[in-house]
Amino acid sequence: MNAELNHVELVAFHLTGDRSGGHLTDVAELDMRPALFAGYGDLTGLRYDYPLVLADNSDGEGAVRTLSSIVDDVLNGIAPQGIEGEFARKQLLSLEHRIRSAVAGGAQGTLAKLWQQAGDRMLAGADDTVGEDLQNVLAQAEAALVADGEVIDCDGATPGKVLRHLWQTGQRRKNQSLRHRLDKLILGLEGILGADFAKSETGRSAAQLKGALRGSYEAAFDFDALSNILPRTASDASLPEDRRLRLHATLKVLQTQRFVPASELLRESNAEAPYDFVFQGCAAAKAAFEERLPELVALAKALSVAELEMENRFKPARHEHYFEAFDQTSLRPDDLAQFPSYLVLLPDGDADGVVIERARAAELLSSGLPVKVLVQTDDLLGEDGVTPGQIAMRGNNLHIANMAVGINSAYVLQTTTAGIFRLRNRIMKGLDYAGPALFSIFSGDAGANGSRAPYLTAAAAAESRGFPAFTFDPGAGPDWASRFSVASNPQAETDWPEHELTYELEHHERVEEKLNFTFVDFVAADGRYAKHLTGVGNGSSDKGLMPVGEYLRRKAEGRRDNVPYVLMIDGDNVLRKIVVGEPVIRAAERCVENWHALQELGGVHNSHAARLLETERQRWDEEKQRELDELRAQAAAAASAAPAPAAVAAVEAVAGAVEAEAPEAPAPDPDVAWIETPRCTTCNECTELNNQLFAYNDNQQAYILDIDGGSFKDMVEAAETCQVSIIHPGKPRNPKEANLSDLVKRAAPFI
């Protein structure tokens, strides 16, 4: 086709969506995905974050594990390094693949069950030459498998399941602590009252003594004789009536509370079932909190009174008045933090009820109550055509997260299901936070994404800045630099992440190209937006086509006469150049503006800091120039009395001395681990991970205490969890460490 005609048609399509030229191809049925996801057609063949195992009875970061990490642990236990362990490694990786495929196909259950089923299938398909060896490997592996729990894939249920599991893990810890405190106080108060009762006439009666020693002891005593002896030996001093009444009332509150389950030890004392703390709506959670508030106040009061009584420190003159006036306003955040928090799970949707609940979430978070709210987003874009001339971003959920940051006292975390595993520690931190917390999570399980797995949609949303990750932790420090972080986004300092794409042309010519992953890639993979995209006909000219990353970087005049295109892979794995309509470009521009705002909050390209830096740099340059001019003038004056070569040397020496004033620091050796200590935000992640390897200096900023104080794995994990990406793991020091090739790959982005 004529190159000019082709270009005119593409420009017309880009500006108006007009396809009447007849040479443009429809992309609606192509089932496209971004070219940078070319290698991710079948996720079951990859070892990646999913499936996840929600580990039973595990605390901390072990509460959620990847299947791959569990298999690696088993392999470390049973497969020797080198060729000797090759058979076991091969078989267990095959078993992992079978479990991953089964879960992707809808299988559900615990890891133990799915592991067993996969092993059985392997044995059933094995021939005689390997059957016995395989059986041995599977038996050893099963014995070495210590983790168990529900296995989940990445789908619309993932945010709720992960959050609920981590919340339960934290509540279990909290409940145990409160339960222990309650048991101790109940037993103590019962002891005081029991001793007092034993001194009373009733307490010393034969019937009472017989009742107190039931069962096998009953026949061993003459209770009438015992009853006659006791009055002579017991002290007559008994509790004052007001104290006895107070102890009884306090004990009753402790015994009948419903905030934590009754203990095994004292089961008979608590007849009613404990309260439920998981809600599907904000209104229900708030109503439950308010309804239970009087009981909660009574319990907090009873705990304090009981502790004073147990230590014999309750002074009526001092405490009675205080506890009479004790009400909900007396509760401090620390008091509330010892009770279970309220978990609210809000699904996605446009139904009235869902929209109202989202509005209520804002109100609930502002109230400061101990609520943990999950706001889930399944569909980021919505149907095309809702807003004329614009890509209809369903931005409500993004706005809720931004609004929650504005509250300034709520913990806020936003991520996608593709990042949920990596951010599990921060999710737990938000769940443990004493105040309200919001978790805004994109599942990727909706929209017209063809055959693409929800994980890839979620990863594309994060990569394209459509659903950027961030955390706001009000407890992390006094300023935004400590509280707000966007560091967990890919290449957080850039507008769009850049990656290398290698592909072959028709005649096997190899092409390597650097591509940006932009919001256009995300939109182009959504079939509902096909009308804003067109394929370039076979054999068409590339005249005037510009990669979308480059196009977005340019201002209007730099774009003139060009049309933007994005590289996509179709359902047959064919690479295609797809020309993009103006509405998609405008959506990408809005997206990057939002991203810039987040970057600024996170201290990346902060405009105030940049302006200050520029002013300081100018001032420094002017000062140095003035000094240089003065010295040159002095040297020139001195040289006028000296021979010519000496004068030139003097002037050069003076200039050189001034210019050499700002020596450059030697570049760090990329092979050796190091930390950019001055940028450390003291978040404790690395020091908690391994305090032999990392420590704080006098400024409370992390440095490497002992480079041999931990493994390369520790170093890589610290680099991955560091919020500001300042840990550089260098190269492994122990060539025998397990999984080195995997670790080196993970370390690469931080070198």
Contact residues toward ligand SF4 (CB under 6 A) are 675, 680-687, 702, 722-724, 726-727
Cα–Cα distance measured from residue 610 to residue 522, given in angstroms and rounded to the nearest whole number: 31
| Shortest separation between residue 601's beta carbon and ligand SF4, angstroms | 17
The single-letter code of the amino acid at 429 is K
**Cβ-based nearer residue to ligand SF4, 500 or 698:** 698
| Shortest separation between residue 424's beta carbon and ligand SF4, angstroms | 15
Cα–Cα distance measured from residue 740 to residue 732, given in angstroms and rounded to the nearest whole number: 8
Cα–Cα distances (Å) from 550 to 13, 116, 165, 433, in that order, read: 19, 52, 43, 43
**Cβ-based nearer residue to ligand SF4, 69 or 691:** 691
**Cβ-based nearer residue to ligand SF4, 251 or 683:** 683
| Shortest separation between residue 479's beta carbon and ligand SF4, angstroms | 14
Cα–Cα distance measured from residue 444 to residue 426, given in angstroms and rounded to the nearest whole number: 21
SS3 of residue 127 by DSSP: coil
**Cβ-based nearer residue to ligand SF4, 73 or 720:** 720
Q: Is 65 left (phi over 0), alpha (psi -120 to 50) or beta?
A: beta
Cα–Cα distance measured from residue 379 to residue 751, given in angstroms and rounded to the nearest whole number: 36
Name the β-bridge partners of 563. Answer: 545
| Shortest separation between residue 725's beta carbon and ligand SF4, angstroms | 8
SS3 of residue 499 by DSSP: strand
Cα–Cα distance measured from residue 450 to residue 462, given in angstroms and rounded to the nearest whole number: 19
**Cβ-based nearer residue to ligand SF4, 99 or 702:** 702
**Cβ-based nearer residue to ligand SF4, 138 or 716:** 716
Q: Is residue 338 a contact partner of residue 177, using CB atoms and an 8 Å limit?
A: yes
| Shortest separation between residue 249's beta carbon and ligand SF4, angstroms | 48
| Shortest separation between residue 613's beta carbon and ligand SF4, angstroms | 22
Helix ranges restricted to H, 126-240: 128-144, 158-198, 206-212, 223-233
Collect all residues with Cβ–Cβ distance below 8 Å to 655 and sequence separation of at least 6: 628, 631, 632
**Cβ-based nearer residue to ligand SF4, 197 or 696:** 696
The H-or-E segment that residue 34 falls in is strand 33-34
| Shortest separation between residue 673's beta carbon and ligand SF4, angstroms | 12
**Cβ-based nearer residue to ligand SF4, 136 or 682:** 682
| Shortest separation between residue 381's beta carbon and ligand SF4, angstroms | 35
Cα–Cα distance measured from residue 542 to residue 559, given in angstroms and rounded to the nearest whole number: 15
- Rg of the chain (C-alpha set): 34
Tell me, what DSSP letter sits at residue 184? H
**Cβ-based nearer residue to ligand SF4, 464 or 681:** 681
| Shortest separation between residue 703's beta carbon and ligand SF4, angstroms | 8
The H-or-E segment that residue 284 falls in is helix 282-310
Nearest CA-CA partner of 363 in 276, 443, 287: 287
| Shortest separation between residue 680's beta carbon and ligand SF4, angstroms | 3
**Cβ-based nearer residue to ligand SF4, 447 or 602:** 602
**Cβ-based nearer residue to ligand SF4, 424 or 452:** 424
| Shortest separation between residue 671's beta carbon and ligand SF4, angstroms | 19
Angle at 59 between CA 54 and CA 63, to 5 degrees: 20
Cα–Cα distance measured from residue 362 to residue 370, given in angstroms and rounded to the nearest whole number: 14
| Shortest separation between residue 740's beta carbon and ligand SF4, angstroms | 22
Helix ranges restricted to H, 199-218: 206-212
Nearest CA-CA partner of 357 in 378, 371, 373, 368: 373
The H-or-E segment that residue 480 falls in is helix 480-483
| Shortest separation between residue 488's beta carbon and ligand SF4, angstroms | 12
| Shortest separation between residue 704's beta carbon and ligand SF4, angstroms | 10
Cα–Cα distance measured from residue 444 to residue 156, given in angstroms and rounded to the nearest whole number: 7
**Cβ-based nearer residue to ligand SF4, 36 or 722:** 722
Name the β-bridge partners of 565. Answer: 547, 579
**Cβ-based nearer residue to ligand SF4, 284 or 695:** 695
| Shortest separation between residue 727's beta carbon and ligand SF4, angstroms | 5
Q: Is residue 588 a contact partner of residue 547, using CB atoms and an 8 Å limit?
A: no
HEC assignment per residue over 368-417: CCCEEEEEEECCCCCCCCCCCCCCCCCCHHHHHHHHHHHHCCCEEEEEEC
Cα–Cα distance measured from residue 451 to residue 569, given in angstroms and rounded to the nearest whole number: 12
**Cβ-based nearer residue to ligand SF4, 91 or 723:** 723
Cα–Cα distance measured from residue 447 to residue 215, given in angstroms and rounded to the nearest whole number: 67
Nearest CA-CA partner of 365 in 326, 306, 311, 409: 409
SS3 of residue 453 by DSSP: coil
Cα–Cα distances (Å) from 546 to 2, 14, 174, 522, in that order, read: 19, 12, 57, 18
Nearest CA-CA partner of 140 in 230, 79, 59: 79
| Shortest separation between residue 726's beta carbon and ligand SF4, angstroms | 5
| Shortest separation between residue 722's beta carbon and ligand SF4, angstroms | 3
Instruction: Please give the backbone phi and psi of residue 441, each rounded to the nearest 5 degrees, phi first.
Output: -130, 130
| Shortest separation between residue 543's beta carbon and ligand SF4, angstroms | 49
**Cβ-based nearer residue to ligand SF4, 208 or 491:** 491
**Cβ-based nearer residue to ligand SF4, 303 or 726:** 726
Name the β-bridge partners of 728. Answer: 674
**Cβ-based nearer residue to ligand SF4, 666 or 678:** 678
**Cβ-based nearer residue to ligand SF4, 536 or 683:** 683
